[in-house]
């Protein structure tokens, strides 16, 4: 057993022991109160069986309370032929939903005007990917924008902000193969503090890595992101982007992070997040790679992460 496995073993059994103790104390307290109020005094012969029963009940209750959960019911127990899908390009309906989620998730000073964003999307409809559940409801999105050096370099220096971007600053699909600067404009999930939301966040980040590998894995662009909140800053640092400059040096008042995102760097991060390909279909890959429940011998589940590196923070922004 490795060191990490040993620590997880100890942690789980420590929680179990605490839960057993808590359950045991609660049962004994309630029983004692009932006996006192009722004026009952059980014979000594019954004490040992009663104590054994209390211990067994406490252990059963504690095991149920501390049982590990890996996926929410919504992901594991789907009874449908549809799949969770990451759509890219996204249609008009999904773009509209993503704009509403962005307005709720990010500071207004960091959100592009919807009309300007639509012009960017018309220039390159691969900048937005939308994650939908089995009922085609939007659960999250990310937008990744390939930039021309004429805008990316001032952005790196802090002299311009995202809100000053125009369609002229964005590379077209035919130019993506020569991209040098790639901007993560936002990553958001619905209800990020919920258990379900956190799992969709894992799926979304897995999809983002697959997206980067497919479209930019061979170009090795400089990946840029600006964090305006502490959760966004924490996620970028977990993702091992390097801090470049902060609020005092930037017109947007955020913290800019960057890293040269090679194929090797992408694959290294994929080892942290695990493989969610049996749960999520990537529309840009064409044929579905999802195993439907009616055809599967086992429930769909992601493969375990090869390296236990980080957990997705609750709040919803990776770039804001």
Under a CB-based contact definition with an 8 Å cutoff, are residues 135 and 82 in contact?
Answer: yes
pLDDT of 200 strictly over 70: yes
Supply the pLDDT for residue 77: 38
Q: Is the Cα torsion angle 245, 248, 252, 253 positive or negative in sign?
A: positive
For the ranges 20-29, 202-211, 246-255, 301-310, the lowest mean pLDDT is seen at 301-310
Supply the pLDDT for residue 305: 56
Q: In this structure, what token pair is assigned to residue 95?
A: 């773009």
pLDDT of 149 strictly over 90: yes
In order of their start, the domains of the chain are 3-66 (no CATH), 73-285 (3.40.630.30)
What separation in angstroms does the CA of 270 have from each of 19, 66, 153, 238, 262? Answer: 35, 28, 28, 13, 13
Q: Mean pLDDT score of the chain, rounded to an integer?
A: 78
182 phi/psi in degrees, rounded to 5: -125, 120
Supply the pLDDT for residue 67: 45
Cα–Cα distance measured from residue 23 to residue 10, given in angstroms and rounded to the nearest whole number:
20
Supply the pLDDT for residue 55: 72
pLDDT of 278 strictly over 60: yes
For the ranges 99-108, 136-145, 295-304, the lowest mean pLDDT is seen at 295-304
SS3 per-residue string spanning 188-225: EECCCCCHHHHHHHHHHHHHHHHHHHHHHCCCCCEEEE
- The rounded radius of gyration (Å) of the Cα atoms in the chain is 25
Supply the pLDDT for residue 73: 35
| Per-residue pLDDT reduced to its tens digit, 63-101 | 655 544 333 334 433 333 447 999 999 999 999 999 888
Q: Is the Cα torsion angle 143, 235, 198, 214 positive or negative in sign?
A: positive
Q: How far is CA 151 from the centre of its chain?
A: 29
Model confidence, pTM? 0.67
Q: Is the Cα torsion angle 226, 227, 233, 235 positive or negative in sign?
A: negative
Give CA angle at 170 (169, 176), nearest 5°.
140
The larger pLDDT score, comparing residue 15 to residue 294, is at 15
pLDDT of 290 strictly over 60: no
């Amino acid at each position: 057993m490795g060191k990490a496995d040993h620590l997880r073993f100890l942690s789980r059994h420590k929680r179990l022991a605490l839960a057993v103790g808590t359950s045991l104390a609660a049962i004994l307290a309630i029983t004692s109160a009932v006996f006192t109020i009722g004026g009952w005094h059980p014979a000594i012969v019954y004490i040992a069986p009663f104590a054994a029963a209390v211990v067994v009940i406490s252990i059963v209750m504690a095991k149920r309370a501390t049982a590990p959960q890996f996926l929410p019911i919504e992901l594991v127990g789907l009874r449908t032929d549809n799949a969770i899908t990451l759509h890219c390009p996204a249609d008009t309906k999904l773009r509209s939903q993503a704009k509403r989620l962005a307005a709720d998730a990010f500071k207004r000073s960091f959100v592009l005007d919807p009309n300007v964003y639509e012009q960017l999307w018309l220039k390159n409809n691969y900048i937005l990917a939308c994650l939908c559940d089995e009922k085609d409801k939007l659960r999250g999105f990310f937008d990744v924008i390939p930039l021309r050096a004429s805008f990316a370099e001032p952005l790196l220096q802090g002299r311009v902000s995202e809100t000053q971007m125009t369609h002229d600053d964005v590379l077209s699909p035919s130019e993506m193969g020569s991209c040098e600067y790639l901007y993560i404009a936002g990553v958001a999930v619905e209800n990020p503090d919920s258990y379900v939301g956190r799992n969709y966040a894992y799926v979304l980040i897995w999809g983002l890595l697959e997206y980067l590998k497919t479209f930019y894995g061979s170009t090795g662009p400089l990946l840029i992101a600006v964090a305006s909140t502490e959760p966004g800053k924490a996620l970028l640092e977990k993702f091992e982007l390097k801090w470049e400059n902060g609020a005092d040096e930037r017109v947007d008042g955020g913290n800019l992070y960057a890293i040269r995102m090679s194929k090797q760097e992408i694959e290294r991060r994929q080892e942290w997040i695990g493989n969610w390909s049996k749960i999520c279909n990537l529309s840009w890959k064409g044929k579905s790679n999802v195993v439907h429940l009616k055809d599967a011998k086992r429930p769909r589940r992601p493969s375990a992460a090869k390296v236990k590196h980080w957990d997705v923070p609750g709040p919803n922004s990776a770039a804001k």
